[in-house]
Amino acid sequence: MNCHPLKLILTAIALSCLPAVAEEMPATTTLKGKVKLPTDVSAGINMDGLALTKAVAVLKGAYRHPRPPYPANWGEMKPEQRRKWQQEFSNSEAYDEYQKTVKAAVAKRFSVKTKVAADGSFSFDNIKPAWYELSVSIMHDKSQGEPNYEHARAHAMHQFFIKKTDQDHVMNPMTLKVKNVILAGDMAPDFTINRYDGGEFKLSDLRGKYLLMDFWATWCVPCIAEIPNLEAAHEKYAGSKFQVMGLSVDQKIDAPANFLKKKPSEYLQGYVGSDERYAIIREAYGITNIPSIWLIGPNGRIIARDLRGKGLQKAVSTVLSQSSAE
What is the predicted pLDDT for the residue at 7? 52
What is the predicted pLDDT for the residue at 86? 85
Cα–Cα distance for residue pair 61/133, rounded to 1 Å: 6
What is the predicted pLDDT for the residue at 25? 55
Per-residue tens of pLDDT for the chain, all 326 residues: 455 555 544 454 554 555 554 555 569 999 999 999 999 998 889 999 999 999 999 999 999 999 999 999 999 999 888 888 888 888 888 988 999 999 999 999 999 999 999 999 999 999 999 999 999 999 999 888 888 888 999 999 999 999 999 999 999 999 999 999 999 999 999 999 999 998 999 999 999 999 999 999 999 988 998 999 999 999 999 888 999 999 999 999 999 999 999 999 999 999 998 778 888 999 999 998 999 999 999 999 999 999 998 889 899 999 998 877 66
What is the predicted pLDDT for the residue at 170? 96
Query: How far apart are the two ends of the chain, measured CA to CA in Å?
Result: 96
List the chain domain ranges: 29-63+109-178, 192-321
What is the predicted pLDDT for the residue at 61? 96
| Domain 192-321: CATH class, spelled out | alpha beta
Cα–Cα distance for residue pair 123/169, rounded to 1 Å: 10
What is the predicted pLDDT for the residue at 90? 82
β partners of residue 201: 193
What is the predicted pLDDT for the residue at 88? 86
Cα–Cα distance for residue pair 34/217, rounded to 1 Å: 38
CATH of domain 29-63+109-178: 2.60.40.10
CB 56 within 8 A of CB 85: no
